[in-house]
Amino acid sequence: MTTIRVGHLYPDYLNIYADRGNIAVFARRAALRGHMLEVTALGMDDPIVPGQHDLYYVGGGQDREQLLVAENLAGKAEPLKEAVLAHDAALLAVCGGYQLLGRGYRGFHGEDMPGVGLLPAETVAGERRMIGDVLLECELEPGSRQTLAGFENHIGRTTLDPGSSPLGSVVAGFGNDGESGFEGARVGRAIGTYLHGPLLPRNAWLADWLLAQALAHRTGGAPPELEPLADELEARAHAVSAERARSRGGRF
């Protein structure tokens, strides 16, 4: 049994659409493989200590909540970058959290919020909210294509630096900016995405990918092959969600 140490950043501020549900999925899927999840809330007064957590999680929030945490989070940019980029911890950042993991976010009322600069992205609020079901095609491991189905609701338009990796390409929905055909960002074991609500119950493969990366961080070895689970309900939830996105119409 391995204890996977999760650092949950600002759970009191960034938890829109019950993003916290993603943590329940990690806990359950880890337990079914005989592992334990130990979740620590990392709030305003808590330092980030590289090597202390195997997986970081940041949920979404509206501009108002983002404004409350942005400066505090940006003040922890160096240890967070070290934890993820040098120590290879895994990270999942959703929506408002995703925006703040990039270089910064200019909110709807022109508020400039500093970002962590861990993800090669910049976000500026546009005129029009991008809402609805989304379907992506992802290839996190060469040769292993997967689809990711979810829901997006954001006014921020995120631009990735040229040559950097998105999480996936948009089959249906808006994605990062409604134009590029990209959704999310990926650097090593870190993933940022607009998909939430919660994302992992209907995309079990992504939960397992992140758990395997977290286990690799914990043990210092390669990401393990996790024993497959039945996942019937998860597959049905994925199919329903994917179909809703498809019927909304492909944009790219």
Active site residues: 95, 196
- Closer of 70 and 216 to ligand GLN (Cβ): 70
Encoded one letter per residue, x for contact with ligand GLN by CB under 6 A and - for no contact, window 37-76 reads -----------------------xxxx--x----------
Q: Which residue, chain included where needed, has tokens 């024993």?
A: 227
Contacts of 110 (CB under 8 A, 6+ apart): none
Task: Pick out residues in 1-40 that bind ligand GLN (CB under 6 A).
Answer: 16
Q: According to the binding rule CB under 6 A, does residue 156 interact with ligand GLN?
A: yes
From candidates 35, 154, 189, 217, binder to ligand GLN by CB under 6 A: 154
Report residue 197 CA to chain centroid gap.
Answer: 12
- Closer of 60 and 115 to ligand GLN (Cβ): 60
Q: How far is the CB of 146 from ligand GLN (least distance, A)?
A: 23
Residues contacting ligand GLN: total by CB under 6 A: 12
Give the count of beta carbons closer than 10 Å to the beta carbon of residue 250.
Answer: 11
Q: Where are the beta strands (DSSP E) in the chain?
A: 3-9, 36-42, 55-58, 90-94, 104-106, 112-114, 121-141, 144-160, 168-172, 182-183, 185-187, 190-193
Q: How far is the CB of 19 from ligand GLN (least distance, A)?
A: 8
Residue 95 · residue 18 · CB < 8 Å = no
Q: How far is the CB of 108 from ligand GLN (least distance, A)?
A: 7
Q: How far is the CB of 110 from ligand GLN (least distance, A)?
A: 13
From candidates 44, 77, 85, 155, binder to ligand GLN by CB under 6 A: 155
Residue ranges in the chain assigned as alpha helix (H): 21-31, 63-74, 77-81, 96-101, 204-219, 232-248
Give the count of beta carbons closer than 10 Å to the beta carbon of residue 48.
Answer: 22
Q: According to the binding rule CB under 6 A, does residue 95 interact with ligand GLN?
A: yes
Question: Whose CB is nearest to ligand GLN?
Answer: 60
Q: How far apart are the C-alpha atoms of 159 and 182, rounded to whole Å? A: 9
User: Which of the ranges 1-9, 147-155, 181-189, 244-252 carries the binding residues for ligand GLN, by CB under 6 A?
Assistant: 147-155
Q: Give me the residues that bind ligand GLN (CB under 6 A), please.
A: 16, 60-63, 66, 95-96, 153-156
